[in-house]
Chains A and B, each alone.
Chain A
């Protein structure tokens, strides 16, 4: 089962010191197709068009159609690039962006081209970014339709700008392009989280996301600057060559230079910020304030994986360090994040936040994969996670959309059995089994690669690799539990719900008592594609002010509002894609023999790396150096172990939260949406711990106390110092000239004789001075 790991680099490396594990030199890039530049141009054009639509006061769904078309074309181009790709890295340049030199020597010029660098990693990322962006733009077309007008244009402009930024981040051929994209996605994330800018929570969440990311960005920026200082270039191709040569620009031995661990650590901090890893993760749950499609695309599938991409892109730098310090940090940050977030998910009730924390947790798995020396596993998990997490988010979004914004799992039950929600339920089930790692799903295979490698990687290379592996395995079980907790509570069981309090969404399903929703809509022309023909339905970004008075249960009823065709199509597409994603594991890799298609892609990229234990050697030889799973070869047994752990997690979820009946395998005990006696008893058993987890371990409060409060106190102290000391000094300085002036003032008496005497006296004094000087 060793063969599960992939990568052509395997063939070259065979144990020995860490340096021997470094990838062989990455081939110099050839000339890429300039068509790749369209991937940058089209989303930007679409964003500009959305701006034009906004300026011309367009009130149709034109921005959505434009976006779907542009992004679909991008996906087509990405696919075409992939199919025509010869397996070698390639670059294509649009123009010279920055070109400076201040001397002829090395490191005395700075070049950054506006161009793209195409390798396996780039194509892998571009395929799922553009593919999912297209699907989610389709979903948004309906989801955001209540806001047709200025807000709709704003949404799609930011959406397209996001895709442009993500493309720049992934495809850029230098670190400055990456930085441009990095900041661009941060900006778009801010704009989209704060889309409902009249809601205080959304604005606060947007700011939080931006500020937390800025802290990480400092690390990234320092990394880029240090890279330039140390290596004299920020372009990937020469940078990789220089790293392969083992020397810095000044000729120092790279392996013993501070930069070999210093620069990767800086980049790691940047990656932690963007990918919401431990201690920076707090912004991501709050980012769920944004529209759900945004959460699905940006805060689950694509943007948050930028950190994983960054590490993969710079893997030669990370692995150049003989001690692999930065990768150990990355591994442990990932493990802690995965476990930490999973414990919170088990306790909270907001299903969208569950998905948010689940994303954090799964990102932790990816980082752990990168850190534990399986970039293939990390990239594979990123790839599969993108599809199944998008499916889950879109499913949650459909529920939110249909139940007046209700997200509390104690107030929803049996959604799957309600009219129009069948597909949503099936999609949620598919997403859930993927996330839980049920055998033969995409999530199962990708998580398995990481877990197997985690047990294989020896502690001599990555500090505490064995402990990390066990914690990851535990987290995998917890993942299965919380995933099915949500599914079993919300989607199956007795049909029961309490509508949410989002007036806008509530509007979609309310009708007077005694009239069915369909009749009501037929009467009022409020058919599907809500937002049209609705007399008093507010348009534009001030829509929140224009809703009808509060829901009155005595005269009105609420029926769940099922998703329309475009939402269903998007959910269905994502579901199918997440099922198909499992198939790539069985595709023959382009290089190497195992690990499937993704392993081939990663093997033909900067992240190519010979994971320890990948190579078939004598069993005895491996047993001596590599880690094992209780003495067994992890690559052989991990299939069964992780499948078993996942099933145990699901069974516990069914036992605690499942409704009575077949969908919880006859072991459930839940009788209504809110009442699950065993679960409640268990939660009470762990009383304080549950409460702490429910309150996210008070991390926000701790940050508030540790960072914000001291800053405030400091600000007050400085304010007082400024008022008293600094202003006092300044005022004193200001008073001195006035005092001097008062003493000089009498000389300006206005009397002619006085002036003449003054002049003569002045001359006399000067002459005396000169006299003294002459005599000296």
Chain B
């Protein structure tokens, strides 16, 4: 899987932009790819110091990619022209923390042997692959944000997902991880099959794989909607199949089953990775697909087509309810956080249903833009969820020569006294996940709520409110145990010998507090990133209806 391959494939299609011109939008991905290659080689070095530079190289690559994205051009060829810089900077930022968290996951026993005098055997080490896979996955995630074609989208999604299957399997030496990896792979393949089928149907319905531009899916569907015949059965089925299939990535009902098992089986550090990267990919995909359809249906002309809206509505309501309700029952912290990540997907789906609101873009109202709320929430979620997982990744205890991670809520007791830094990180992140003002999570939820209210989705807001209340039940256990209870005598956890994890945890907790200050600026960025561009030229096929289309189509809005 490499960029030249993508170039060939995409260049073959009848694209409005020549591939070469498109390359200038892919500088971050190319930087990451170079970093990946370097990591792959460096990780195999017999020199210990060189080997250990994998994490540093990864972080440097991510930082450079983030910088390139921040100063890169807006994607003129995209459905959401402003999306790319925002999403890629976000991916790079959270990616840096994720790489810090996954340090020291693999090869600990092997490195121990080596330091005790055993010979270094490149074939036995997993370091190079592990970091390379992490970077590949992040590269794929960035490519999702750059996608303007169904095939590109599919490949990017798979580039995001495939490395994670392996990462889960090799994250620990225990069979539980293997089992989780296998489960994850099979079910992931099942999901991929679903959305590939959906993509194929979309292609069949529209005759193109391009999402945006002359003759693209966006234009075909817009013209069809304008002519009053609706999206058509095939296109609708294709969209529904795609959305349901992609909802595997975001762990939404009904594709959520794998989540707790896989998160529990993988090492906590990898779970942190899984809780963000595929989820971000999934949401970006759903947003891109739906942006091609447009939020200009329904009675007010600001909603999705009814079947898709209902599908998403049901999925959102069920996802948050199932996630929160099952989280209540969990004793294992990791499973609890897995269910909580399901619930958060449900919250974010609400923003997707709302869409960009009436006036997205630079002049739009911040409170009514659902897509901006989703992107902002993704940012909040990325930091606060990562902090919680990082605490689990930092702390371990030895029992009978076997390393054990924090398992139950009981293990967290008295953490604020025994491990103040980790204890308070857990408290802050749990409170933020709960949405307690004035922490970051509150502002994330705040914009989701206001956008949903603005769009008139009151029932969904009520469901969301109830779910937030249920969520307090288990999040407060994560707060109470470290803060209020005293630790049991037997359980003494020490820090894992990977200081970067601790820093990742502390940075996450700090960002939960500090990012509140520029929250207004951030949501403004997110708002700018979600101006949906209307199809520019109506299709020649619908030729004469151009004028009537612009008048009768309820609201094909000027976004910029």
* Bound complex: CA A452 to CA B362 (Å): 77
CB distance from B209 to the nearest CB of A (A): 22
* CB pair A756 B187 closer than 8 Å: yes
* CB pair B310 A742 closer than 8 Å: no
Among B27-35, B129-137, B319-327, B501-509, the stretch that binds chain A is: B319-327
* Bound complex: CA A715 to CA B187 (Å): 58
* Bound complex: CA A448 to CA B219 (Å): 98
Q: What is the number of residues of chain A that contact chain B, defined by CB distance less than 8 Å?
A: 29
* Chain A neighbourhood of B473, CB < 8 A: 734, 737
* CB pair A770 B307 closer than 8 Å: yes
Contact residues, A700-736 vs B (CB, 8 A): 733-734
* Chain A neighbourhood of B244, CB < 8 A: 762-763, 766
Q: Please give me the residue from chain A that is nearest to B329 by CB atom.
A: A741
Set B186, B194, B328: member contacting A741, Cβ < 8 A: B328
Among B66-74, B252-260, B383-391, B484-492, the stretch that binds chain A is: B252-260
Interface: B521 (CB within 8 A): no
Interface: A55 (CB within 8 A): no
* Bound complex: CA A755 to CA B183 (Å): 9
* Bound complex: CA A770 to CA B194 (Å): 16
* CB pair B307 A744 closer than 8 Å: no
Interface: A1 (CB within 8 A): no
Whether A748 touches B328, Cβ cut-off 8 Å, given contacts A759-B190, A766-B311, A773-B306, is: no
* Bound complex: CA A762 to CA B311 (Å): 11
CB distance from B516 to the nearest CB of A (A): 25
* Chain B neighbourhood of A752, CB < 8 A: 182-183, 186-187
Q: Please give me the residue from chain A that is nearest to B264 by CB atom.
A: A750
Set B186, B254, B328, B470: member contacting A762, Cβ < 8 A: B254
Set B257, B315, B325: member contacting A758, Cβ < 8 A: B257
Set A733, A750, A759, A765: member contacting B187, Cβ < 8 A: A759
CB distance from B239 to the nearest CB of A (A): 9
* Chain B neighbourhood of A741, CB < 8 A: 325-326, 328-329
Interface: B122 (CB within 8 A): no
Contact residues, A738-764 vs B (CB, 8 A): 738, 740-742, 744-745, 747-748, 750, 752, 754-756, 758-763
* CB pair B233 A774 closer than 8 Å: yes
Interface: A83 (CB within 8 A): no
* CB pair A763 B254 closer than 8 Å: yes
* CB pair A774 B307 closer than 8 Å: yes
* CB pair B310 A738 closer than 8 Å: no
Interface: A769 (CB within 8 A): yes
* Bound complex: CA A738 to CA B329 (Å): 7
Whether A762 touches B322, Cβ cut-off 8 Å, given contacts A750-B261, A773-B306, is: no
* Chain B neighbourhood of A740, CB < 8 A: 321, 325
CB distance from A599 to the nearest CB of B (A): 59
Interface: A767 (CB within 8 A): yes
* CB pair B257 A748 closer than 8 Å: yes
* Chain A neighbourhood of B248, CB < 8 A: 759
Q: What is the number of residues of chain B that contact chain A, defined by CB distance less than 8 Å?
A: 38
* CB pair A745 B187 closer than 8 Å: no
Chain B interface, >50% SS class:
helix
Interface: B314 (CB within 8 A): yes
* Bound complex: CA A750 to CA B233 (Å): 36
* CB pair B236 A762 closer than 8 Å: no
* CB pair A748 B326 closer than 8 Å: yes
* CB pair A744 B311 closer than 8 Å: no
* CB pair A759 B254 closer than 8 Å: yes
* CB pair A744 B187 closer than 8 Å: no
Contact residues, B248-287 vs A (CB, 8 A): 248, 253-255, 257-258, 260-261
* CB pair B328 A763 closer than 8 Å: no
* CB pair B310 A737 closer than 8 Å: no
* Chain A neighbourhood of B294, CB < 8 A: none
CB distance from A360 to the nearest CB of B (A): 48
* Bound complex: CA A752 to CA B184 (Å): 9
CB distance from B443 to the nearest CB of A (A): 25
* Chain A neighbourhood of B261, CB < 8 A: 748, 750
* Chain A neighbourhood of B183, CB < 8 A: 752, 755
* Bound complex: CA A762 to CA B319 (Å): 12
Q: Please give me the residue from chain A that is nearest to B312 by CB atom.
A: A766
Chain A interface, >50% SS class:
helix
* CB pair A770 B236 closer than 8 Å: yes
* CB pair B307 A773 closer than 8 Å: yes
Interface: B361 (CB within 8 A): no
Whether A759 touches B191, Cβ cut-off 8 Å, given contacts A744-B326, A748-B326, is: yes
Interface: B210 (CB within 8 A): no
Whether A766 touches B240, Cβ cut-off 8 Å, given contacts A737-B470, A773-B307, A773-B310, is: yes
* Chain A neighbourhood of B326, CB < 8 A: 741, 744-745, 748
Q: Please give me the residue from chain B that is nearest to A740 by CB atom.
A: B325
* CB pair B470 A755 closer than 8 Å: no
Interface: B416 (CB within 8 A): no
Whether A774 touches B236, Cβ cut-off 8 Å, given contacts A748-B257, A758-B257, is: yes
Set B182, B240, B255, B325: member contacting A759, Cβ < 8 A: B255
CB distance from B228 to the nearest CB of A (A): 15
CB distance from A121 to the nearest CB of B (A): 47
* Bound complex: CA A427 to CA B323 (Å): 83
* CB pair A770 B186 closer than 8 Å: no
Whether A737 touches B254, Cβ cut-off 8 Å, given contacts A755-B183, A759-B190, A766-B244, is: no
CB distance from A544 to the nearest CB of B (A): 39
Whether A762 touches B190, Cβ cut-off 8 Å, given contacts A769-B311, A773-B307, is: no
Whether A770 touches B237, Cβ cut-off 8 Å, given contacts A737-B325, A756-B186, A763-B244, is: yes
* CB pair B254 A765 closer than 8 Å: yes
* CB pair A756 B325 closer than 8 Å: no
CB distance from B1 to the nearest CB of A (A): 26
Q: Please give me the residue from chain B that is nearest to A762 by CB atom.
A: B254
* Chain B neighbourhood of A744, CB < 8 A: 322, 325-326
Set B182, B186, B191, B254: member contacting A761, Cβ < 8 A: B254
* CB pair B187 A738 closer than 8 Å: no
* Bound complex: CA A294 to CA B175 (Å): 80
* Bound complex: CA A773 to CA B313 (Å): 13
CB distance from B19 to the nearest CB of A (A): 35
Q: Please give me the residue from chain A that is nearest to B190 by CB atom.
A: A756
* Bound complex: CA A744 to CA B321 (Å): 11
Q: Please give me the residue from chain A that is nearest to B183 by CB atom.
A: A752
Contact residues, B453-498 vs A (CB, 8 A): 469-470, 473
* CB pair B314 A748 closer than 8 Å: no
- What 1/0 mask marks residues of chain B from 174 to 211 whose CB sits below 8 Å from any chain A CB? 00000000110011001100100000000000000000
* CB pair B328 A738 closer than 8 Å: yes
* Chain B neighbourhood of A760, CB < 8 A: 190
Whether A747 touches B257, Cβ cut-off 8 Å, given contacts A752-B187, A769-B311, is: yes
CB distance from A39 to the nearest CB of B (A): 42
A747, A752, A767 interface centre (most CB from chain B within 10 Å):
A752
* Bound complex: CA A773 to CA B233 (Å): 11
Q: Please give me the residue from chain B that is nearest to A745 by CB atom.
A: B329
* Chain A neighbourhood of B240, CB < 8 A: 766-767, 770
* Chain A neighbourhood of B310, CB < 8 A: 769-770, 773
* Bound complex: CA A262 to CA B32 (Å): 74
* CB pair B254 A766 closer than 8 Å: yes
A747, A763, A765 interface centre (most CB from chain B within 10 Å):
A763
* Chain B neighbourhood of A742, CB < 8 A: 329
B interface residues with partner A (beta carbon < 8 Å): 182-183, 186-187, 190-191, 194, 233, 236-237, 240-241, 244, 248, 253-255, 257-258, 260-261, 306-308, 310-311, 314-315, 321-322, 324-326, 328-329, 469-470, 473
What are the 4 closest A-B residue pairs judged by CB atoms, nearest first? A762-B254, A755-B257, A773-B307, A741-B329
* Contacts A/B (CB < 8 Å), 20 sampled: A737-B325, A737-B470, A737-B473, A745-B329, A748-B326, A750-B261, A755-B258, A756-B190, A759-B248, A759-B254, A759-B255, A762-B244, A766-B254, A766-B315, A769-B307, A770-B236, A770-B308, A773-B307, A774-B233, A774-B307
Apart from A752-B182, A752-B183, what are 13 other A-B pairs with CB-CB below 8 Å? A737-B324, A738-B328, A748-B257, A755-B257, A759-B190, A759-B255, A759-B257, A762-B254, A766-B315, A769-B314, A770-B308, A773-B307, A773-B310
